[in-house]
């Protein structure tokens, strides 16, 4: 089979397993999604979802967020880790959104990446899930599975993103990146993985990874 044919079959499996692709991070607007994704760096979605209700009850928009001090934000988000850095980023990006964008979150990947604490992956998640702009955010799950399934060389996340965008149709990217994340958590973990029981690795996995 060609790599394209393998990708099509993988997509078929994922569509059957995950016909719905809800965003794992609880949010009510592009702004709350942006903050939640920023908080999820080196933190589980479950923990973020436990922290954000308290934060968003006080401030679910940039105007209210800048009324809090960085210290207040830091104390609330402490369970998410990296709270000194993340609290400053949330406060500072909120000020920029007010000053430059009338309090709204831009729907441009490039403009989002200019905000404090917002890298390419975070910006990609926001444009894809808040605005429906085709993007393929690559996290550690996707990077790992793309290599396991021989869809990418696995050199780095930038290369993996390019490889996956080349293989899969653009109109599938926004759902597909979530499907792969869901699949990785349920069937294809980094540790304790049983490839012979995995719906995809049993067909297309790199045998050398499972010795």
Residues designated as active site: 121, 139
Instruction: Identify whether the C-beta of residue 131 lies closer than 8 Å to the C-beta of residue 107.
Output: yes
Would you state the structure tokens that stand for residue 208, as one six-digit string?
């050398």
Distance between terminal CA atoms of the chain? Answer: 24
- The two tokens of residue 45 are 């979605």
The CA distance from 58 to 78, in Å, is 16
Confirm if 61 and 90 have CB atoms less than 8 A apart: no
Is residue 8 within 8 Å of 173, Cβ to Cβ?
Answer: no
- Report helix, strand and coil shares of the chain as percent, to nearest 5: 65, 0, 35
Residue 12 to residue 18: CA distance in whole angstroms: 10
- Rounded to an integer, what distance in angstroms lies between the CA atom of residue 184 and that of residue 178? 10
Give dist(CA 25, CA 130) in Å, integer.
12
DSSP 106-128: P--HHHHHTSTT--HHHHHHHHH
């Amino acid at each position: 089979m060609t790599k394209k044919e393998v990708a099509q079959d993988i997509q078929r499996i994922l569509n059957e397993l995950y016909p719905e692709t809800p965003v794992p991070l609880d949010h009510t607007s592009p702004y709350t999604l942006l903050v939640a994704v920023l908080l999820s760096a080196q933190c589980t979605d479950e923990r973020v979802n436990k922290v954000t209700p308290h934060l968003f009850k006080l401030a679910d928009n940039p105007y209210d967020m800048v009324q809090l001090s960085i210290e207040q934000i830091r104390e609330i988000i402490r369970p998410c880790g990296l709270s000194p850095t993340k609290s400053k980023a949330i406060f500072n990006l909120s000020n920029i959104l007010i000053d430059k964008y009338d309090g709204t979150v831009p729907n441009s990947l490039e403009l989002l990446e200019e905000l404090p604490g917002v890298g390419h992956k975070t910006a990609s998640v926001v444009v894809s899930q808040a605005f429906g702009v085709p993007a393929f955010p690559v996290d550690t799950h996707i990077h790992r599975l793309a290599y396991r399934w021989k869809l990418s060389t696995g050199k780095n996340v930038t290369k993996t993103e390019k490889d996956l965008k080349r293989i899969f149709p653009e109109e599938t990217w926004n759902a597909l990146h979530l499907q792969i994340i869901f699949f990785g958590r349920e069937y294809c973990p980094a540790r304790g993985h049983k490839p012979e029981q995995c719906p995809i690795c049993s067909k297309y996995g790199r045998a050398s990874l499972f010795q």
